Chains A and B, each alone.
Chain A
């Protein structure tokens, strides 16, 4: 059957406030043309991020009510720990308030001046944390990732030859770990194959380097493996997930994506020495090891969320509903990163607006256009977010789809807004950054239209 219906029905709703074009125009100006700075109330369809914006299930809300808020040794922690041990195969599970805290702790321990940390493509907070520690973040995507229109089933793969070259060039001692982001967010939500992970593991073994996953969207990646990788279609997602984590020595996870929660993160480690140091840092900056800066109820919601995300009917719906948006945009003649990713559709802003040069932030211009026309909030992933280091030099606009929140008619509306924008693309104007914060500038920068 062509239509994939949602494997759930709606239990609780949140009203959406409609806005007028005039209102949006005023809001946009007030926020310095940065959609991070506008009130959520002024947004009709919020595709800023899929992080922490999902709808929880009734089972998760039951967990919220069951939360044991004891400061130490809460029963919610033990339930959470057991579920995550079962899903990942890791014995030691540290909870953190969210993914960037896991990254901060990890890179405070292994980063520092002179260190080099390779990845298929670092995401914004990962890169910021690595650079904040004094280390250098290096992106090593496969060459195919640079061409948005190129069809490759695993465009998130890490370029293993480039990794070998990097190790030869800087020496293994300067590389504390190799990281792989699944799925690859900055490169279009593209998956990494099991074959590629195994190849990276083999290189790591040869050079005695630890392999870490940035595993925010591990389940979406595993389902792509099941769908696309030869020999994997007969395996369960659960098995594939166990193998992915089995190849790694550690992982940082923002549970706000595939953990299906609004807040929470994890740090997984095998090395006992590193675990001990990470625990001390966790206590100092996050919270005691049995709550990690979260309420007990959030641990309950995670325990349930990490189970639900492995249900294959959910994953089929998830990937298909994202693909549906991609198909709509392509039909409207809008250039997107091919094939559609797991959690978002990425519009190729450079191709859409060839009249706006990179230094005038074509992606940001498209983001502002979408908001003006239809109150849709998207995010620029290009030169505004990454400066000159934007991973393979792409100017993208991400439409990130929150999990289990929007319906097909919401998505039809989004496609219409995008089509209306594309029809008037020649009218889009570039921007100039008038206020630039020193770190993670895209969150709070202000722009002016040219």
Chain B
């Protein structure tokens, strides 16, 4: 018997029923949703790969922790458990819990960025950039060029380009750079990791100029798995040890616990600086909740504390990333263009390559996501021009070099058979790609438009020509 190298290190304890739908029902549902997968009702979705955020299955231990929630308004025991887990595994001194990751981004941006500041980072993320812009800052992309090339096989495509960073420091001066936003892994580049070597060099450069580094640690453990697999000197090392080293090059992090930490809700800001922690605590009480609960139920802090411990298990991470690889290998094997190498949390279809007959103004990734849903009930997400929005100065559409459809894999939720169905549908669609129709806006929100935008096919009312 062939050994399935990524077999799950758990068995199923509770199941959630799925509703099967017909193609006719899905055609109706996507039209009602304005051809935007965000606006579909989850009961009309068969396999939900919209996001890996908050969609994971918790373990029986986490559920036991849910029953141990101490819902006291102040000084909940669960806060102290979470604080000690963050200190132990991430190594930061101060923990400020928030209701989810964007709560932490909001507080970090408001505390650190002044109007006219520049915030360099290894590629933008949608909500993060909006928070930076609202605080008066301007995001500057300093990721290596390879990140923008879907075909490049660079092992650490998330790396910061030190020359780009130095050039920025020289151009605007370090006093206009409150911090560097370091993503590990880089979501918008296809879940691509940074190397330890790169993190170390970035830290040396930033410390020389007195610039702080805050990591988006949402998927940092996945990043550490790639370091272990790919970087010389890290083979066989414990993920927890690698994580502590990675964090040691930074001054703090924002965390959406809904990814690596295996919970459905929760996040935090963790920093080393006493003064920043004090400022953040004063702010969290206005926006989120008292600093010992940050807008979370006690039980959710407990589940996150336990999830952190589970997340650094090698067996867990091996199965997690193994499953993503399994899906990606099947799709790539049939010649479907995907972002290479395969990332940590999802498969990113290269929509420009997939649908060369659609011009960018027809939002090929949006069209592909809609067609995939109609074909099989698989819900994916557009990560291209629609997500990138418009330039705040010129008002023009931003066309990032990557126009992607993200198939994001929730943790511990779907089986190999679910992955097979997904692969079959993508491959089928690729064979009929010429009949996929482009999209146009019928409603375009001003901020974070991808969430609530509505579209219509360029011609007719179907996602595919018959």
- Mark A residues whose CB is within 8 Å of B: 12, 14, 35-43, 46, 48-49, 51-53, 64-65, 67-75, 78, 97-98, 100-101, 104, 125, 128-129, 132, 262-263, 279-280, 283-289, 291, 293-298, 437-440, 443-444
Asked if A262 and B297 sit within 8 Å, CB to CB, the answer is yes
Asked if B72 and A97 sit within 8 Å, CB to CB, the answer is no
Asked if A97 and B288 sit within 8 Å, CB to CB, the answer is yes
The complex places the Cα of A72 from the Cα of B42 at a distance, in Å, of 7
Most buried by B among A43, A46, A129: A46
Asked if A40 and B50 sit within 8 Å, CB to CB, the answer is no
Determine the chain A residues whose CB is within 8 A of the CB of B446 once the complex forms. Answer: 280
Asked if A285 and B102 sit within 8 Å, CB to CB, the answer is yes
Which 8 A-B pairs give the minimum distances between C-beta atoms?
Answer: A40-B72, A70-B42, A97-B99, A295-B265, A263-B297, A295-B264, A262-B297, A73-B41
Asked if B66 and A64 sit within 8 Å, CB to CB, the answer is yes
Q: Which of B67, B74, B291 contacts A38 (CB 8 A)?
A: B74
- CB-CB contacts below 8 Å: B283-327 with A: 285-291, 293, 295-300
Asked if B451 and A73 sit within 8 Å, CB to CB, the answer is no
Determine the chain A residues whose CB is within 8 A of the CB of B131 once the complex forms. Answer: 284
Determine the chain A residues whose CB is within 8 A of the CB of B54 once the complex forms. Answer: 69, 71, 291, 295
Asked if A52 and B297 sit within 8 Å, CB to CB, the answer is yes
- CB-CB contacts below 8 Å: B27-76 with A: 37-45, 48, 50-51, 53-56, 66-67, 69-76
Asked if B285 and A439 sit within 8 Å, CB to CB, the answer is yes
Most buried by B among A42, A43, A49, A286: A286
Q: List 26 A-B contacts (CB under 8 A).
A: A36-B290, A37-B74, A38-B75, A40-B72, A41-B77, A52-B73, A69-B56, A71-B55, A72-B39, A72-B40, A72-B50, A75-B41, A75-B43, A97-B103, A97-B296, A100-B286, A101-B287, A283-B448, A286-B102, A293-B103, A293-B295, A295-B265, A440-B285, A440-B286, A443-B74, A444-B291
Nearest Cβ on chain A to B358's Cβ, whole angstroms: 24
Asked if B286 and A129 sit within 8 Å, CB to CB, the answer is yes
Q: A53-B73, A71-B54, A129-B286 are in contact. Are A298 and B265 (CB under 8 A)?
A: yes
Asked if B127 CB lies within 8 Å of chain A CBs, one says yes
Asked if B264 and A296 sit within 8 Å, CB to CB, the answer is yes
Asked if A70 and B295 sit within 8 Å, CB to CB, the answer is no
Q: A36-B74, A46-B72, A52-B73 are in contact. Are A444 and B281 (CB under 8 A)?
A: yes
Determine the chain A residues whose CB is within 8 A of the CB of B51 once the complex forms. Answer: 71
Asked if B113 CB lies within 8 Å of chain A CBs, one says no
Most buried by A among B44, B66, B73: B73
Asked if B393 CB lies within 8 Å of chain A CBs, one says no
Asked if A285 and B287 sit within 8 Å, CB to CB, the answer is yes
Q: Which of A38, A101, A280, A437 contacts B295 (CB 8 A)?
A: A101
Asked if B130 and A284 sit within 8 Å, CB to CB, the answer is yes
Asked if A284 and B287 sit within 8 Å, CB to CB, the answer is no
Q: A73-B41, A285-B102 are in contact. Are A280 and B448 (CB under 8 A)?
A: yes
Determine the chain B residues whose CB is within 8 A of the CB of A52 once the complex forms. Answer: 71, 73, 293, 297
Asked if B228 CB lies within 8 Å of chain A CBs, one says no
Asked if B345 CB lies within 8 Å of chain A CBs, one says no
Asked if B14 CB lies within 8 Å of chain A CBs, one says yes
Nearest Cβ on chain B to A291's Cβ, whole angstroms: 8
The complex places the Cα of A279 from the Cα of B445 at a distance, in Å, of 10
- CB-CB contacts below 8 Å: B76-100 with A: 76-77, 80, 99-100
The complex places the Cα of A14 from the Cα of B100 at a distance, in Å, of 27
Asked if A98 and B50 sit within 8 Å, CB to CB, the answer is no
Determine the chain B residues whose CB is within 8 A of the CB of A46 once the complex forms. Answer: 72
Asked if B282 CB lies within 8 Å of chain A CBs, one says yes
Asked if B74 and A284 sit within 8 Å, CB to CB, the answer is no
Residue of A at shortest CB range from B14? A65
Asked if B175 CB lies within 8 Å of chain A CBs, one says no
Asked if B102 and A262 sit within 8 Å, CB to CB, the answer is no
Nearest Cβ on chain A to B43's Cβ, whole angstroms: 5
Determine the chain B residues whose CB is within 8 A of the CB of A97 once the complex forms. Answer: 99-100, 103, 288-289, 295-296
Asked if B106 CB lies within 8 Å of chain A CBs, one says yes
Asked if B416 CB lies within 8 Å of chain A CBs, one says no
Q: A98-B295, A283-B448, A439-B285 are in contact. Are A43 and B72 (CB under 8 A)?
A: yes
Most buried by B among A38, A53, A72, A132: A72
Asked if A70 and B50 sit within 8 Å, CB to CB, the answer is yes
Asked if B265 and A293 sit within 8 Å, CB to CB, the answer is yes
Residue of A at shortest CB range from B77? A41
Asked if B452 CB lies within 8 Å of chain A CBs, one says yes
Other 4 A-B pairs with CB < 8 A, given A64-B66, A295-B264:
A41-B70, A284-B106, A291-B54, A293-B295
Determine the chain A residues whose CB is within 8 A of the CB of B282 once the complex forms. Answer: 437-440, 444
Q: Which of A125, A279, A293, A437 contacts B100 (CB 8 A)?
A: A293
Asked if B152 CB lies within 8 Å of chain A CBs, one says no
Residue of A at shortest CB range from B58? A69
Asked if B448 and A284 sit within 8 Å, CB to CB, the answer is yes
The complex places the Cα of A53 from the Cα of B285 at a distance, in Å, of 18
Asked if B265 and A39 sit within 8 Å, CB to CB, the answer is no
Determine the chain A residues whose CB is within 8 A of the CB of B76 once the complex forms. Answer: 40
Determine the chain A residues whose CB is within 8 A of the CB of B66 once the complex forms. Answer: 64
The complex places the Cα of A72 from the Cα of B56 at a distance, in Å, of 14
Determine the chain A residues whose CB is within 8 A of the CB of B300 once the complex forms. Answer: 263, 295
Asked if B21 CB lies within 8 Å of chain A CBs, one says no
Asked if B41 and A49 sit within 8 Å, CB to CB, the answer is no
Nearest Cβ on chain B to A60's Cβ, whole angstroms: 12
The complex places the Cα of A353 from the Cα of B75 at a distance, in Å, of 28
Determine the chain A residues whose CB is within 8 A of the CB of B291 once the complex forms. Answer: 443-444
Determine the chain B residues whose CB is within 8 A of the CB of A37 once the complex forms. Answer: 74-75
Residue of A at shortest CB range from B299? A262
Q: A40-B75, A52-B297, A72-B42 are in contact. Are A12 and B67 (CB under 8 A)?
A: yes
Interface string of B99-123 (1 = CB under 8 A from A): 1101100100000000000000000
Asked if B447 CB lies within 8 Å of chain A CBs, one says yes
Nearest Cβ on chain B to A20's Cβ, whole angstroms: 18
The complex places the Cα of A98 from the Cα of B103 at a distance, in Å, of 12
Determine the chain A residues whose CB is within 8 A of the CB of B264 once the complex forms. Answer: 67, 69, 295-297
Asked if A279 and B265 sit within 8 Å, CB to CB, the answer is no
Nearest Cβ on chain A to B321's Cβ, whole angstroms: 21
Q: A52-B71, A70-B45, A72-B42 are in contact. Are A289 and B77 (CB under 8 A)?
A: no
The complex places the Cα of A38 from the Cα of B77 at a distance, in Å, of 10
Asked if A287 and B55 sit within 8 Å, CB to CB, the answer is no
Determine the chain B residues whose CB is within 8 A of the CB of A70 once the complex forms. Answer: 42, 45, 48, 50, 55
The complex places the Cα of A41 from the Cα of B289 at a distance, in Å, of 20
Determine the chain A residues whose CB is within 8 A of the CB of B77 once the complex forms. Answer: 39-41
Asked if A71 and B41 sit within 8 Å, CB to CB, the answer is no
Determine the chain A residues whose CB is within 8 A of the CB of B38 once the complex forms. Answer: 72-73, 288
Most buried by A among B48, B76, B99, B281: B99
The complex places the Cα of A49 from the Cα of B451 at a distance, in Å, of 36
Nearest Cβ on chain A to B162's Cβ, whole angstroms: 32
Determine the chain B residues whose CB is within 8 A of the CB of A49 once the complex forms. Answer: 73
Most buried by B among A48, A132, A444: A444
Nearest Cβ on chain A to B70's Cβ, whole angstroms: 5
Determine the chain A residues whose CB is within 8 A of the CB of B290 once the complex forms. Answer: 36, 443
Asked if B100 and A287 sit within 8 Å, CB to CB, the answer is yes
Most buried by A among B41, B106, B131: B41
Determine the chain A residues whose CB is within 8 A of the CB of B281 once the complex forms. Answer: 444
Nearest Cβ on chain B to A292's Cβ, whole angstroms: 9
Asked if B55 and A69 sit within 8 Å, CB to CB, the answer is yes
Asked if A298 and B297 sit within 8 Å, CB to CB, the answer is yes
Q: Which of A35, A262, A283, A286 contacts B69 (CB 8 A)?
A: A262
Determine the chain A residues whose CB is within 8 A of the CB of B447 once the complex forms. Answer: 280, 283-284
Determine the chain B residues whose CB is within 8 A of the CB of A43 once the complex forms. Answer: 72, 75
Determine the chain B residues whose CB is within 8 A of the CB of A440 once the complex forms. Answer: 282, 285-286
Residue of A at shortest CB range from B106? A285
